[in-house]
Amino acid sequence: MSTRPARSEDTTADPGPDVADDVEALYTDGVTARKGAFAPAWVDRLREDVETAFEAARSRPGGAVGRGPHRYYVEIHPEQLRGFVELVDHPWVRSLCTAVLGPDYRIVELGFDVPLEGAVNQPWHRDFPMPEETRAERRLTSLAFNVTCVDTEQDMGPFEIAPGTQWDDSPEFDHGMFPPRSHYPRYEDRAVRKYPLRGDISARTALTIHRGTRNESAKSRPVLVLGVDGPEATNSERHDTAVTRGFWQTLPERVRRHLACPVVDELTPITQKHTIEGLVMGEA
């Protein structure tokens, strides 16, 4: 049986919504979602900011990293999103982070994935090796939130996930992340494709085996990524987000206490370092 942490409330925040069913889903399926969490107009502004950041990132060396043919990942600074506070301070996000990771959770990643026209199937994978706390205690120590910037359609290369595979553990996994092809039939039997709409937000453990699928449309499918760690997790080592002192001063205290990044006088464009070599070529 999976071990779930006792829910502890952040005393600086209101109790927020009941997320007991979401916690259960994360420990069983590995993914959950909140439909209509944001207004479509808010998401349209988000897409504008993502597209501006994507254009800037692709214009400089190391600004975007490949996650397969015609598929990119870009990490950004919080100030590049006008809706950053609304995202991280959303009651469902706060409540779920507290329930799963405890009151001292840390926001460590802000970025986005963009599958363009011609993106191919990724190999089945998880985003990092299984932490010892998960292996030994069946306890989740991090979460990844995803916000689609578009209404996802069938031909746009939707995200595909194999529910319940967050506990899969085998020495055959390449780099602890890529299962051998002999495991693929199991994942394909379990596979569920996700078709979120503008305004929806999902949360998952990045350990659940998943992949991006082939984009057969002429449209891109940008998706925002928010990474959150519990106290034991070390995912911050893969990321370089920062905030300026002026921006820091505008943030609510209950956001600042969870934001794990340097406070600087001036932002420096991020050179991406969260590379996942096994994704560069797509599915073999």
Domain boundaries, the chain: 20-231+245-272
Q: Which DSSP state fits 80?
A: G
- pLDDT of res. 3: 42
Residue 150 neighbours by CB distance under 10 Å: 17
- pLDDT of res. 193: 97
Residue 163 neighbours by CB distance under 10 Å: 18
Task: Give Rg (Cα) of the chain.
Answer: 18
- pLDDT of res. 12: 45
What does residue 136 show for φ and ψ, rounded to 5 degrees?
-85, -35
pLDDT-flagged residues of the chain (< 70) = 1-14, 273-284
Residues 6+ apart with CB under 8 A from 229: 101, 105, 106, 108, 141, 142, 235, 236, 260
pLDDT digit string (tens) for 186-232? Answer: 999 999 999 999 999 999 999 999 999 999 999 999 999 999 999 99
Q: What is the CATH number of domain 20-231+245-272?
A: 2.60.120.620
- pLDDT of res. 281: 52
What is the value of pTM for the model shown?
A: 0.92
- pLDDT of res. 234: 86
Q: Tokens at residue 78, please?
A: 């919080």
- pLDDT of res. 280: 52
Position 91, amino acid: P
- pLDDT of res. 9: 40
